[in-house]
């Protein structure tokens, strides 16, 4: 016999029973209905009896109670393990989707900028050869290089409004037209910080037959510099995300309790969930004081708590809403608060919010285990989690004991 449970992603086998096994509603069990569908995997014979006989059976054979309680404990352990695994897989799916989106943007920028840079380097080389061919004096080459340096000081593309950009294009094209240069030079100069006043100064020092080559060279150099900055920014973003993932999972840490930096854990979690917040236009503010005390425990497990609470807060917040994450030390405790401005938890549901399998999300969007697992993990760290909710304000508060200073630390102070 096998039982399969569907928690939104299709039926999955949880347990099997073979010859000699016992199942069903057992003494002292709180089970009311079957959690899934039980099917016979092969031809089977079943001996069934009514739960009404349990009182008499327990009296006549006390050993039966112990045997059946062991069965219930094993069954509960198997279901709990399966529940936690389902929640982890669901969280992993959300995490993977968010990371794919987060990494796609800088990766696309890297590919786009690298492709364009290849053309700009060719153009830069060609204009450099052309300038060399006209034989400019060292003083005139210094004047050209001075404008190139203006680009290096700014580095990235200037942020023009549509109106400012149109004015800039008209101004540069008018300057080129007065000197009889082709308008295609304008595209190279519009995106640079070079002013018309600087162009006038250059025109006074460089002869007309070399000025057009100089302008092409300056435009190509500025665009190449901008592309390099874009490549650097995109690579740094990917590096930051990878570091956040590593910190979030604590995949390089041994499975023993150790001091946990709560501020770093919150930062890594927000880096991982930032894409989801931006997709929903939810702003997330973080307030963590410098020198926040560490707590003793498992960083990966606490990050799972932060991920569940912040992910739920983003889901609960309205479009263009707000999520506030705060941490502070109070006496010998570290307090973390996650607040959203969503509709709140109805009064009649507050007592059930931490129950296993209870969820207000649509089928397939939640297992109803996130808050239950968060509560268990906080309890394992000798802390507790509380809910305060009303329309427009829902706050989950996690209270953890701060790391106690060792005697050596006390002596050093």
Collapsed DSSP state (helix, strand, coil) of residue 116: helix
* Max avg pLDDT among 47-61, 87-101, 246-260: 47-61
Q: What is the largest CA-CA distance in the chain?
A: 114
**How far, in Å, CA of 293 to CA of 336, rounded?**
12
* Max avg pLDDT among 128-142, 149-163, 236-250, 300-314: 300-314
Give the mean pLDDT of 180-184: 69
pLDDT higher than threshold 90 for residue 318: yes
Instruction: Write down the H helix ranges in 250-285.
Output: 262-279
Count the Cβ atoms, other than its own, within 10 Å of residue 18. Answer: 9
Whether 341 and 321 have beta carbons less than 8 Å apart is answered as: yes
The strand ranges marked E within 142-200 are none
pLDDT value at residue 285? 93
Using the structure block, give the residue that is written with the tokens 């999955």.
12
**How far, in Å, CA of 182 to CA of 176, rounded?**
7
Cα 14 to the center of its chain, rounded Å: 31
Strand-pairing partners, residue 396, are 338, 387
pLDDT band at 17 (very low <50, low <70, confident <90, very high): confident
Give the mean pLDDT of 272-301: 88
Using the structure block, give the residue that is written with the tokens 């059930």.
352
* Least confident range of 13-17, 18-22, 186-190: 186-190
Tell me what the pLDDT averaged over the chain comes to.
79
Strand-pairing partners, residue 384, are 399
Which residues make Cβ contacts (< 8 Å) with residue 48, sequence separation at least 6?
24
* Helix or strand holding residue 334 (H, E): strand 333-340
Whether 381 and 336 have beta carbons less than 8 Å apart is answered as: no
Percent of the chain scoring above 90 in pLDDT: 18
Instruction: Write down the H helix ranges in 45-61.
Output: 54-60
pLDDT higher than threshold 60 for residue 367: no
pLDDT band at 65 (very low <50, low <70, confident <90, very high): confident
Domains defined for the chain, CATH in brackets: 2-97 (no CATH), 99-236 (no CATH), 250-412 (3.30.565.10)
Whether 365 and 341 have beta carbons less than 8 Å apart is answered as: no
Alpha-carbon torsion 258, 264, 270, 272, what sign?
negative
pLDDT value at residue 257? 82
* Least confident range of 113-117, 233-237, 297-301, 399-403: 233-237
pLDDT band at 263 (very low <50, low <70, confident <90, very high): very high
pLDDT value at residue 410? 44
pLDDT band at 155 (very low <50, low <70, confident <90, very high): very low
What are the φ and ψ backbone dihedral angles of 245, each rounded to 5 degrees?
-65, -45
Instruction: Write down the H helix ranges in 254-369.
Output: 262-279, 299-316
Strand-pairing partners, residue 402, are 295
Give the mean pLDDT of 56-72: 85
Whether 107 and 238 have beta carbons less than 8 Å apart is answered as: yes
Collapsed DSSP state (helix, strand, coil) of residue 355: coil
Q: Note if the pTM is more than 0.85.
A: no
**How far, in Å, CA of 340 to CA of 311, rounded?**
11
**How far, in Å, CA of 378 to CA of 392, rounded?**
26
Q: Is 251 exposed, middle or buried (0-12, 13-18, 19+ CB in 10 A)?
A: exposed
Count the Cβ atoms, other than its own, within 10 Å of residue 215. Answer: 27
pLDDT higher than threshold 70 for residue 251: no
């Amino acid at each position: 016999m096998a039982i399969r449970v569907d928690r939104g992603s299709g039926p999955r086998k949880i347990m099997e029973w073979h010859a000699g096994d016992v199942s069903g509603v057992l003494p002292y069990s709180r089970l009311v209905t079957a959690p899934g569908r039980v099917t016979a995997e092969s031809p089977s014979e079943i001996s069934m009896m009514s739960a009404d006989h349990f009182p008499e059976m327990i009296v006549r054979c006390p050993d039966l109670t112990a045997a059946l309680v062991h069965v219930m404990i094993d069954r509960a352990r198997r279901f709990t393990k399966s529940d936690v695994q389902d929640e982890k897989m669901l969280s992993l799916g959300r995490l993977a989707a968010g990371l794919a989106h987060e990494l796609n943007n800088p990766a696309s920028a890297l590919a786009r900028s690298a492709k364009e840079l290849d053309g700009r380097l060719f153009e830069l080389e060609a204009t450099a050869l052309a300038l060399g061919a006209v034989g400019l004096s060292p003083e005139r080459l210094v004047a050209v290089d001075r404008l190139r340096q203006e680009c290096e000081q700014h580095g990235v593309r200037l942020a023009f409004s549509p109106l400012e950009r149109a004015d800039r294009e008209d101004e540069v094209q008018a300057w080129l037209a007065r000197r009889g240069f082709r308008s295609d030079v304008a595209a190279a100069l519009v995106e640079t910080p070079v002013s018309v006043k600087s162009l006038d100064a250059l025109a006074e020092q460089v002869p007309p037959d070399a000025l057009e080559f100089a302008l092409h060279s300056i435009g190509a150099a500025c665009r190449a510099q901008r592309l390099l900055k874009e490549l650097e920014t995109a690579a740094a973003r990917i590096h930051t995300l990878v570091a956040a993932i590593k910190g979030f999972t604590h995949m390089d840490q041994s499975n023993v309790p150790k001091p946990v930096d709560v501020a770093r854990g919150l930062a890594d979690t927000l880096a991982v969930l930032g894409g989801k917040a931006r997709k929903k236009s939810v702003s997330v503010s973080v307030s963590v004081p410098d020198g926040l005390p560490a707590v003793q425990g498992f960083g990966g497990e606490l990050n799972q708590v932060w991920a569940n609470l912040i992910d739920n807060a983003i889901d609960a917040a309205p479009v263009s809403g707000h999520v506030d994450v705060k941490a502070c030390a109070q006496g010998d405790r570290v307090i973390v608060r996650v607040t959203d401005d969503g509709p709140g938890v109805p009064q009649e549901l507050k007592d059930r919010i931490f129950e296993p399998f209870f969820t207000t999300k649509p089928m397939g969007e939640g297992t109803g285990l996130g808050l239950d697992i968060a509560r268990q993990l906080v309890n394992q760290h000798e802390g507790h989690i509380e809910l305060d909710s009303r329309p427009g304000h829902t706050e989950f508060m996690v209270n953890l004991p701060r790391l106690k200073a060792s005697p050596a630390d006390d002596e050093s102070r």
